[in-house]
Amino acid sequence: MTRPVFLLSLPRAGSTLLQRLLLMSGRCATLGEPSLLLRFLGEDTAMTRKATYWESLVETATADMRKAWDGYDEAYRKGVRELMLGIYDGLAGGKEWFLDKTPRYTLIAEEILATFPDAKIIVLWRHPLAVASSVSSTFRKGRWCPEEFGIDLYEGQQRLQDFCEKHGERVFQIKYEDLVTDPAVELARLGAYLCWENLAAVLDEELVTSTGGSLGDPTGVKRYNKISPDSRDAWKKEMSNWYRRAWARGYVFGERGRRMKLLGYELPDGIARGGPLGLWAGLADWFTARRRIARRLRRPTWLPRFLKKFRKERGYDVSFR
């Protein structure tokens, strides 16, 4: 039976790069971002799902079953584990390992470990401000929009750090900055954790151009055919006006800032002490952020398009509960 390896990280943290490196070892199979466990695990308020049935009724029914039978959670996890292991085995095509890399698994890390107690778990860190910059440049064409990924930058970051503090001996932690600076050393460490011999040998080859599937890094796979440190600090140049630097200072503040220091991440001097004012660019970022946030609070941008397409294809309207 194929064994799972879970790669947990925030989006735009370099997980596709590490996924490509592991795929090149020949020891594992993978497929974009499988994401399927998000459908089966996670019941708290951070996990919201759009559906035409009443999701709240499912939550109530689940609570009733849990109260009526003490064995519910164990049976449910067993069912999910057997289902997913069968799927991983089919996708692996005879390989010993299947790598499941899905960024938003940060929200369900505890449940993943409870469901797959024998799995290998890799946590990839990157400076959260680099993540904020990268999601804006990659998904919003440079328009400053980290708050659209707040579930990752706030909740995901906190949960992942809590998870590592609780299960540090079970989890392999690696930093993107170290991976691109000294890849041979970091891959040797990771190879020892996975019991994969000579993992660093993949550095002698060009990176694979695809991990399969439709999800994953849309830029790095085209830009780099070898591991490179060029993008490690490029994000600092994106903090180019007063609004972005103010956002960064607000993010690295208080308890969050203290916990980031435990990972070795701090606010760079160039951001902490100011820089070019960038008055008009900052105003444009401020205006764009307020407009986008207000619009998404009123109605998510995907919803009108979906409802219009649904009515055209089906002839009637649908609402989400």
Buried (b) or exposed (e) across 266-292, using 16+ Cβ within 10 A?
A: ebbeebeeebeebeebbeebbeebeeb
**Do β-strands 120-125 and 3-8 pair in parallel, antiparallel, or remain unpaired?**
parallel
Q: Poorest-confidence range of 97-101, 222-226, 294-298? A: 294-298
Residue 318: helix, strand or coil by DSSP? coil
pLDDT over threshold 80, residue 301: no
Task: Give the up-direction half-sphere exposure of residue 182: CA atoms within 13 A in the CB hemisphere.
Answer: 8
**Which of residues 239 and 194 earns the better pLDDT score?**
194
90 in Cβ contact with 20 (< 8 Å): no
What is the rounded average pLDDT of the residues 290-303? 62
Show the tokens assigned to 3. 């064994």
3-state secondary structure 39-58: HHCCCCCCCCCCCCCCHHHH
What is the rounded average pLDDT of the residues 256-274? 90
The residue behind tokens 């979906």 is 306
pLDDT over threshold 70, residue 226: yes
pLDDT over threshold 60, residue 295: no
pLDDT classification of 309: cutoffs 50, 70, 90: confident
pLDDT score of 300? 63
DSSP string computed for 212-235: SSS-S-SSHHHH-SS--STTSSTH
What is the rounded average pLDDT of the residues 279-303? 72
pLDDT score of 299? 58
pLDDT classification of 221: cutoffs 50, 70, 90: low
Q: What is the pLDDT of residues 59-101, one digit of tens each?
A: 899 999 999 999 999 999 999 999 999 999 999 999 999 999 9
pLDDT score of 313? 86
Phi-psi domain of 195 (left: phi exceeds 0; alpha: psi -120 through 50; beta: other): left
Task: Give the up-direction half-sphere exposure of residue 273: CA atoms within 13 A in the CB hemisphere.
Answer: 3
**Which of residues 228 and 257 earns the better pLDDT score?**
257
How many Å apart are CA 232 and CA 63, to the nearest integer?
Answer: 46
Query: Which strands sit side by side in the sheet containing 28-30, from one edge to the other?
Result: 28-30, 97-101, 3-8, 120-125, 171-175
Show the tokens assigned to 243. 């609004």
165 in Cβ contact with 154 (< 8 Å): no
pLDDT over threshold 60, residue 294: no
pLDDT over threshold 70, residue 220: no
pLDDT classification of 304: cutoffs 50, 70, 90: confident
97 in Cβ contact with 16 (< 8 Å): no
Which stretches of the chain are DSSP H helices? Answer: 15-24, 37-40, 55-68, 72-92, 109-115, 128-139, 150, 157-166, 176-181, 183-194, 220-223, 235-238, 242-251, 254-262, 269-272, 279-298, 302-314
Give backbone dihedrals phi and psi of 98, rounded to 5 degrees, phi first: -125, 130
Distant-in-sequence, close-in-space partners of 116: CB < 8 Å, separation ≥ 6 = 4, 6, 81, 84
pLDDT score of 180? 96
**Which of residues 157 and 321 earns the better pLDDT score?**
157
> How high is the mean pLDDT of the chain?
90
pLDDT score of 296? 57
pLDDT classification of 271: cutoffs 50, 70, 90: confident
pLDDT score of 108? 97
Q: Which of 40, 48, 63 is nearest to 112 (CA)?
A: 40
Q: Poorest-confidence range of 67-76, 86-95, 209-218, 292-301? A: 292-301
